[in-house]
Chains A and B, each alone.
Chain A
Amino acid sequence: KNEVEQSPQNLTAQEGEFITINCSYSVGISALHWLQQHPGGGIVSLFMLSSGKKKHGRLIATINIQEKHSSLHITASHPRDSAVYICAVPLTTFGNEKLTFGTGTRLTIIP
């Protein structure tokens, strides 16, 4: 079982729809990262959150530490939101941190 699991793997939606991407993890963490990988391959950090909710523009990320679950929401989706969305958690080994990644959710927004 992967330590970080995302669902769905692929998501196609019409422009304007409300999008939800889920991430579950099996280890205790102090923070979770949401990343966006563009079709060209570049990676952008969207959020890092350790509790509650964060909002940036049309993007909202929530996390429930007790349930080991996070969601990324996109309101009023647009074709330019088409990308792979990746959640990642830092796993510590002897105090050293390294990110472990989910397999990503490929989002396609159709005009």
Chain B
Amino acid sequence: NAGVMQNPRHLVRRRGQEARLRCSPMKGHSHVYWYRQLPEEGLKFMVYLQKENIIDESGMPKERFSAEFPKEGPSILRIQQVVRGDSAAYFCASSPQGAIYNEQFFGPGTRLTVL
């Protein structure tokens, strides 16, 4: 059973470009969480999704950021018109059910660098 997969592992974008980060949860997991870790800072919640539904996006910036978890395929975190402040490590995690009673399994992260 493969773990949580994220790709790409490293992504370099110039200011103004779009960044697409992909997360494939563990088999059988229908809950996906995205977290961001800014340089020298702790992890911060961004968004919580279940298949085809955004459950909680309270941690996601209102503009330029969007997330989806379609019925088929990976979850996508999309950042439009990237700025230097978006440079960070983006982690996704999955669980079979919600976080309260279930361990979250983390992916290896995508390190985004905006030039």
Contact = CB atoms under 8 A, between A and B. Distances in A.
A39 B6 CA distance: 18
A46 to B, nearest CB: 10
A42 B99 contact: no
Contacts of B102: 48
B109 A100 contact: no
Interface residues of A, number: 24
Contact of B99 (A41, A44, A97): A97
Contacts of A35: 106
Contacts of B109: 41-43
Contact of A86 (B43, B45, B59, B93): B43
A96 interface: yes
A45 B45 contact: no
Interface residues of B, number: 26
Contacts of B105: 45
Contacts of A97: 48, 56, 98-100
B104 A99 contact: yes
Contacts of A90: 98-100
Contact of A30 (B35, B48, B100): B100
Given A41-B109, A93-B56, A99 B45 contact: yes
B111 A98 contact: no
20 contacts: A30-B100, A35-B106, A41-B111, A42-B109, A45-B105, A45-B106, A88-B43, A93-B56, A96-B56, A97-B98, A98-B58, A98-B99, A99-B33, A99-B43, A99-B45, A101-B35, A101-B42, A101-B43, A102-B42, A104-B42
